[in-house]
Amino acid sequence: MRKARLDKSRRLVDTIYRTLFQQVPFNVAVIDRDHNVVNANDNFTKRFGDWRGKKCYNVYKKLNQPCDECPSAKVFEDGNVVVADDVGVDQNGKETHYVGHVAPIRMEEGGPVEYVLEMTRTVTGTKSWQQEYQILFDRVPCYITVIDREFRILRANEAFRQTFGDKQNQHCYEVYKRRKTKCPNCPAAKTFKDGLVHHSQQVGTKKGGEKAHYVLSTSPLARGDKEVIHVIEISTDITETKKLEKEVVDAERLAAVGQTVAGLAHSIKNMLMGLEGGMYITKKALVRDDKEMLSQGWDMLERNFDKTTSLVKDFLSFSKGRLPELVMVNPNSLVNEIIGLYQDIAKSIGVILVADLDPKIKDVPLDPKGIHTCLTNLVSNAIDACQMSDKKDCHVCIKTKDTKNTLTFTVVDEGCGIDYDIKSRIFTTFFTTKGGKGTGLGLLTTRKIVQEHGGKITVVSKKDEDTKFTMAFPKKRLQTLFKKDSAE
Amino acid sequence: MGKKVLIIDDEEDIRNFLIELFKDNGFETMTASDGIEGLKLLKDEKPDLITLDLQMPNDTGTAFYRKMHRDEQFNKIPIIVISGVAGKHLAIKKPFAIFDKPIDATALLETAQNAVDENS
């Protein structure tokens, strides 16, 4: 009875063993010390073909001698399980990738390893996917590096290696930027800290020494919710784009220079012709000894000389790229200066020039010369506008106003007004409605000075209606400029 | 009776210069400071020759030419462009001549004479 029960249980163990041996989803083979395949399951046979009486290297790889690195030999040697990863040839002659365990078989506990059990799984599909991934990693037109928490480059793709060199294990800041220390505002450091993707624009140095501009995004590589172990840095090179951008800016600048020069040349040619006329008439007067004609010729010379002078002056003050020289001044006294300067001229042509000053105004930091130029330009425009209209007793008023945040100068005239088409062009180079009398630089210079003070100039006008030019200066901005100015 | 020249230029000094120059050489002169005035004089005075500036406030030289050219009475009058602008050779279809500012007085007078001789 007892023996029968024992037989039954042994039979059960045998059956379980055989079923397991055949049904386990692995290629299973048993190898002896001499590389002979002594047993294998159906999966193995299906994959690698008939094995009976053959050596393992012959079955797995269709070789005639043992492999260079034999995992089984290691197991026979030290008796520990080995994880193996290898490429063989299946019974149809096709390359096949497999991974698996090689375990020792001892016939007695504590005895020598007599056989090894090789349990492998075919991973050819996974491998080809990995290869595709590798190609993608290398060929994508971006620089890709994987860095660890020490900022050392663990992996780099082909594009990166070609551009920055093969610099595995070096610090990313050394390779990308040739720095000795971590970059300030390092986006990878941010990603290590918060686990988020960060984007930034960077400038690095290629292996040949040229500059590389790139847009970088750093992404975390983490296992589950644990801390970020690696960061993957992906950059797109925008050096070419940057170059094109610069070319466009340069071309625009050149075009602006060309336009300015053409405008300047036109003005100068007119003045030269005026001088030519003056010379012609003066010469004629001298020949005829005609005093009246002489004074006409002289006036022409003088007028055109003055015009040339004021064009050059305006042009210089316009092209000068300086910061305003700020000193504490009373805005009202600046206005009074202008009134004093223009009152008589205005009166002589029937224009009434008045001031409307804010009595509570305090001293503010302004560039007196600059503001003087602005007010001169605005007031002389206003007087010209009055002259161009038929109105009698045309008024021009200069106002000052000091509010909590802003200081404003306003110049209002009752002259001819500005129509819509002209208003859109008054701040462009060499635009003038005054023919040869204007340089087309006055308002442009005015706007430039106002902007250098951190202010804004605006105009409200319609044809045949009042015109109001307002220069508004934020007081905070003036103070900031003033502090900066005094600090230098 | 000298030939009549209409001088159109917005610069007074240039107008005065051309008046003297043409008068001294036997022309009769009349002047306009823009295209609008120019058209009026064209109709009233029927000049034999026109000197035309291109860039002027109010009405440009090109606009003046376009209006003048539409009128068969006037479109045979020779025009000498006197201008400092770049691209002045493109502004008007068939000018008799083009002069840059400042002008070569001798050459201008010679050209003006040829223009009126050819047209009479």
What are the boundaries of each domain within chain A? 20-121, 140-237, 243-319, 327-487
Does an H or E element contain B19, and which? helix B12-23
Q: Which of A266, A272, A300 sits opposite B55 (nearest CB)?
A: A266
Block mean pLDDT (10 aa), chain A, length 488: 80 90 91 93 92 93 90 90 87 88 90 92 82 88 93 93 89 92 92 92 92 93 76 93 84 73 80 92 94 93 88 73 80 91 85 92 90 90 86 90 93 88 75 67 84 91 88 91 75
Taking the CA of residue B17 and the nearest CA in chain A, the distance in Å comes to 4
SS3 label, residue B67:
helix
Contact A121, A25 (CB under 8 A): yes
Distance from CA of B60 to the nearest CA of A (A): 11
Q: Would you call B12 an interface residue with chain A, using a CB distance cutoff of 8 Å?
A: yes
pLDDT of residue A55: 94
- Contact yes or no for A280 and B13 at CB 8 A: no
Q: Are A277 and B101 inside 8 Å of each other by CB? A: no
Of B13, B56, B105, the CB nearest to A274: B13
Residues in A closer than 8 angstroms to B57, CB to CB, are 432-435
Chain A, chain B: beta-carbon pairs less than 8 Å apart = 72
Q: Is the CB of A435 less than 8 angstroms away from the CB of B10?
A: yes
User: Within an 8 Å CB–CB cutoff, is residue A269 touching chain B?
Assistant: yes
The answer to whether position B52 is within a domain reads yes
Chain A segment 10-29 residues within 8 A of B by beta carbon are: none
Is residue B23 included in any domain, yes or no?
Answer: yes
- Confidence at residue A29, expressed as pLDDT on a 0 to 100 scale: 94
Q: Least CB-CB distance to B100: which of A269, A275, A277?
A: A269
Average pLDDT, chain B: 88
The mean pLDDT value for B46-68 works out to 86
User: Which chain A residues contact residue B91 at CB under 8 A?
Assistant: none
Residue B15: inside a domain: yes
Radius of gyration for the alpha carbons in chain A, expressed in angstroms and rounded: 45
For domain A327-487, give the fold: Heat Shock Protein 90 (3.30.565)
Domain boundaries, position B40: 4-85+96-104
Task: Inspect the interface and report whether the beta carbons of A281 and B20 lie closer than 8 Å.
Answer: yes
Q: In angstroms, how far is the first alpha carbon of chain B from the final one?
A: 14
Q: How far apart are alpha carbons A157 and A232 in whole angstroms? A: 11
Is there a contact between B17 and A262 if contact means CB atoms under 8 Å apart? no
- Report the C-alpha gap between A172 and A181 in whole angstroms: 10
Q: For chain A, say whether B26 makes contact (Cβ under 8 Å).
A: no
Give the pair of three-digit tokens for residue A404: 């909590």
Q: Which CATH number fits domain A20-121: 3.40.190.80, 3.20.20.70, 3.30.450.20, 3.90.1150.10?
A: 3.30.450.20
Name the residue facing B56 among A268, A284, A435 (closest C-beta). Answer: A435
A284 interfacial to chain B (CB closer than 8 Å):
yes
The CA distance from B72 to the nearest CA of chain A, in Å, is 31
How far is it, in rounded angstroms, from Cα A17 to Cα A26? 14
> How distant is the alpha carbon of residue A340 from its chain centre?
52
Q: How far apart are CA A418 and CA A465, in angstroms?
A: 8
* Number of domains, chain B: 1
pLDDT at B119 over 80: no
CATH, residue B35: 3.40.50.2300
- Fold match between A20-121 and A140-237? yes
Cβ–Cβ of A436/B12 closer than 8 Å?
yes
**Tokens 């590096």 — which residue?**
A145
Q: CATH second-level architecture of A140-237? A: 2-Layer Sandwich (3.30)
Would you say residue B87 has pLDDT above 80?
no
Q: Does residue B117 sit within a domain?
A: no
Q: Report if residue B116 sits inside a domain.
A: no
Asked whether residue B36 is assigned to any structural domain, the reply reads: yes
Residue B111 inside a domain? The answer is no
Query: Would you say residue B91 lies in a domain?
Result: no
Instruction: Find the residue in A nearest to B86 (Cα).
Output: A262
Give pLDDT, residue B61.
83
Strand intervals (E) in A128-259? 143-147, 153-156, 198-205, 211-221, 230-237
H or E, element range at A96:
strand A95-106
* Phi–psi pair at A454, nearest 5 degrees: 80, 15
Distance from CA of B103 to the nearest CA of A (A): 7
Distances (CA, A) of A76 to A28, A82, A88: 17, 10, 21
pLDDT at B108 over 90: yes
Q: What are phi and psi of A219, to 5 degrees?
A: -120, 145
> Cβ of B20 and A300 within 8 Å?
no
Residues A55 and A141: beta-carbon distance below 8 Å: no
Q: Is A304 on the interface with B (CB under 8 A)?
A: yes
Min distance A372 CA to chain B CA atoms (Å): 28
Interface test with B, best of A260, A271, A275, A276 (most B CBs within 10 A): A276
- DSSP notation for A266-329: HHHHHHHHHHHHHHHHHHHHHHHT-HHHHHHHHHHHHHHHHHHHHHHHHHHHHH-------EEE
pLDDT at residue A187, as a whole number: 93
Cα(A98)–Cα(A100) distance, rounded to whole angstroms?
7
Cβ-defined contact of B102 to A269 (cutoff 8 Å): yes
Q: Do A38 and A30 form a contact (C-beta atoms < 8 A)? A: yes
Residues A192 and A118: their CA atoms lie apart, in Å, by 41
Q: CA-CA distance, A419 to A462, in Å (whole number)?
A: 5
Closest chain A CA to residue B11: A436
Cα–Cα distance for residue pair A316/A373, rounded to 1 Å: 13
